[in-house]
Amino acid sequence: MSIEADAERESGLTEAEVAELRSEGKSNDVPARASRSVKDIVRGNVFTRINAILGVLLLIVLSTGSVVDGMFGLLIVANSGIGIIQEIRAKKTLDELAIVGQSKPVVRRDGVAREVAPDEVVLGDLIELGPGDQIVVDGEVVEASSLEIDESLLTGEADAVHKTQSAQVLSGSFVVAGSGAYRATKVGRDAYAAKLAEEASKFTLVHSELRSGIDKILKFITYLMVPAGALIIYNQLFSSGQSLGPALNGMVAALVPMVPEGLVLMTSIAFAVGVIRLGQRQCLVQELPAIEGLARVDVVCADKTGTLTENGMRLSELRVVKDGDGALLASVLAAIAHDDPRPNASVLAIAEAFPDDPGWTSTAVAPFSSAKKWSGLSYGAHGNWLLGAPDVLLDPATDIARQAEEAGSAGLRVLLLASSDLPVDYPSVGDPSLGHTAAPGVVTPRALVILEQKVRTDARATLDYFASQSVAVKVISGDNAVSVGAVAGSLGLAGTPIDARDLPEDVHELADTVENGSTFGRVRPDQKRQMVGALQSRGHTVAMTGDGVNDVLALKDADIGVAMGSGSAATRAVAQIVLLDNKFATLPYVVGEGRRVIGNIERVSNLFLTKTVYSVLLAFLIGLSGLLSQIFHFEPIPYPFLPRHVTIAAWFTIGIPAFVLSLAPNNERARTGFVSRVMRLAVPSGLIVGTATFVSYLLAYQGPDATETQVTQASTTALITLIMIAVWVLAVVARPYVWWKILLLAGSVVGYLLLFTIPFCRTLFELDPSNLALTTTAIVIGGVGIVAVEAAWWISAALRGRSGRSSEPSAAGRK
């Protein structure tokens, strides 16, 4: 190879070459966070199943010339408009946070290394690598120093792959040890993981129990509308003998309330507002269903360093082994710190304490990895030096090992500086993944490097919050178990710390140990993954927090992965949620927001689906009465309502209250079984409302020869009964009561009183409550319906181990 080629290899591309390549379209043009475009947002909110159904029904009503009865068409505008506005706001929040939280590769241009955005990488760029760096494009290794790449995100194989010069690396993998550089050979959509990353990072509401449950309900309702519509149109046209216009209006009035038109809207708003609220707390939600997942979390696995403690450290003491040369050891530590291309928090603390680099030249390197828990440098005549965990490198029976244990039990972080009689890269015996030291030669302890870690001031309050919410916290760390236990104990976490090297290999025994324990030390990356799986096997929903490359596998397998913003690029890439402010204390707000979203959607789902059930029942009762009238020769009963009636019936029982309730505080932990749980209230309540309304209309209907006034009075009677019971369903769903909920209920009652008493409203909506006998009948039947709904609620609450006075689980229900 020529000297010029070698120079190019070292210095990377020039800025002129970069500009030319970019103009040729040879840049990494895949968006870092592929949120939906505005065009997609508009299309997704306008062309929906519900809008299509309502649109067809609107055209039918308008064809009869009754514009007032087409008021429900405003729901199409509301559903689309509000959904579009909220999702665009959420998109803006996500995009702004994604720019802050994205991994930034270090490229070498004109001989200078600097960070750039992933989409600024061009074909042929020279990209530097260090522990925790994610590989953003495909390439060929041109420099390697003990470089190990984890490709598990692509291949599923957890073992790291050693890479040498000319080896190929794929986007989506990440560095676990060593350093090096690679040249970009495939960028943009040509890169191996580009399409996977683009699809995985879209702003989406799919792949959640909540959304799939709602979709199933909507699909079932669509199927029900076909026979219901056929029955109603048959009854209106043939049995009741109405003309086409009134018959079509009756059919539309029967079908419109079957559609839970606001349910999808409220769900979208609740999720979007959740994203915006979390964004204001510097929390990036990379996958929207993570909000739902966090609401279901009952176990949080937290790393100690960077989560319970601050990232930064400082040297507390250099405890030299008897007869040791303190000056030499200081030089060794200074050299080790100076020669580490990607120092972690411990090495940074050493560099701060020993800033005078002796200028030695290293002859061999053994980079640190989470598996073996030590690193090493050989300096020729100056010796071979190891820096790592004392309980890994030392015989536990030695005095120096006991000293390290005592220091660790006080919550200090302890490293061992040791020398070896062999170069650090000498082939060693043992498998680091099995916990063997794999240290070459005879290891001689020279000093204990004791570091102080500062516990986060907000850590205790965060752990107390989780305890109050029945969420178990497991501290899982690669540090010494005694040290981890000391930190956890100072924060109120009880239990004896467990050394992960003693964990059972049997899956069931491991699950028992992890479930019963709270603090674990010396945990290898593969063990973190196994522990998450063990908890999941016991039915737990697990959130894993972490910031280091050793947390990636566990984050990937956890139900919810939470990464710190200052963590490695690989960690941020696999996590569903990134805490950009690096505050563990933000997590309770995230969990609380998830609970608010899911709990409130469940509340409003009860309202919408109660309306669907009573509308379907009423349509079938009226339709069947028409069929039976042909068989038994009695007068058929037409549908009692106009489309305007069913519109106003939803205003104050569902529409406005659902919007308010969807944004209200709610701290109840989400549980599985959304559809069955909602139906347990919606089905009996809907059956009661539909039956009571039918009976009320049956008693008020004066037959086919009734005057227009009598028809209006009969419809009004049925509507009063329906509204009374529907308002009570709202009162049940709103429990437990606080002042604003009482105000909401009072406002709903007042709203309907005004509609039924103001002459203009009575004329516009064709309401006539002036027949006192019929109005009294409506109120009495409504009262009976209220008692039935209340009884159904208490029976359902008792069967589920809950209190009928509240939506919160009772003590029995939590056991």
Catalytic residues: 303
The amino acid at residue 542 is V
State yes or no: cis peptide before 809, omega within 30 of 0.
no
**How are strands ordered across the β-sheet holding 542-546?**
283-285, 577-579, 560-564, 542-546, 299-302, 472-476, 519-521, 498-499
The CA-based dihedral angle spanning residues 63, 67, 73, 74, taken in that order and rounded to the nearest 10 degrees: 160
The amino acid at residue 437 is T
DSSP string over 411-479: T-EEEEEEEESS-TTS--SS-GGGT-----S-EEEEEEEEEEEEEPTTHHHHHHHHHHTT-EEEEE-SS
CA pair distance 332, 383, nearest whole angstrom: 9
Q: DSSP alpha helices (H): ranges in 701-770?
A: 708-733, 739-757, 759-764
CA pair distance 245, 253, nearest whole angstrom: 12
CB 781 within 8 A of CB 692: yes
Specify the 3-state DSSP secondary structure of 206: coil
And the tokens for 238? 């043939």
- 474-508 burial by CB neighbour count: b if 16+ within 10 A, else e? bbbbbbbbbbbbbbbbebebeeebbbbeebeeeee
Secondary structure element (H or E) that encloses residue 218, with its range = helix 209-234
Best CA proximity match to 273, nearest among 730, 561, 736, 600: 600
CA pair distance 134, 130, nearest whole angstrom: 9
- 628-665 burial by CB neighbour count: b if 16+ within 10 A, else e? ebeeeeeebbbbbbbbbbbbbbbebbbbebbbbbbbee
The CA-based dihedral angle spanning residues 615, 616, 618, 619, taken in that order and rounded to the nearest 10 degrees: 110
And the tokens for 730? 């709202």
CB 107 within 8 A of CB 121: yes
Beta carbons within 8 Å of 104's beta carbon, 6+ residues apart: 115, 116, 117, 118, 569
Neighbours of 15 (CB within 10 A): 10
Secondary structure element (H or E) that encloses residue 310, with its range = strand 309-320
CB 767 within 8 A of CB 785: no
CA pair distance 86, 568, nearest whole angstrom: 32
Q: Is the dihedral of CA 422, 425, 429, 432 positive or negative?
A: positive
- 723-752 burial by CB neighbour count: b if 16+ within 10 A, else e? bbbbbbbbbbbbbeeeeebeebbeebeebb
Angle between helices 244-255 and 643-650 (to 10 degrees): 20
Q: Tell the residue number behind the tokens 């560095």, with chain if given.
A: 175
**Can you name the residues that pair with 672 across neighbouring β-strands?**
none
CA pair distance 481, 476, nearest whole angstrom: 9
CB 258 within 8 A of CB 288: no
CA pair distance 255, 593, nearest whole angstrom: 35
And the tokens for 192? 């191996």
Q: State CA 250 to chain mean position distance.
A: 44
The CA-based dihedral angle spanning residues 416, 418, 422, 424, taken in that order and rounded to the nearest 10 degrees: 40
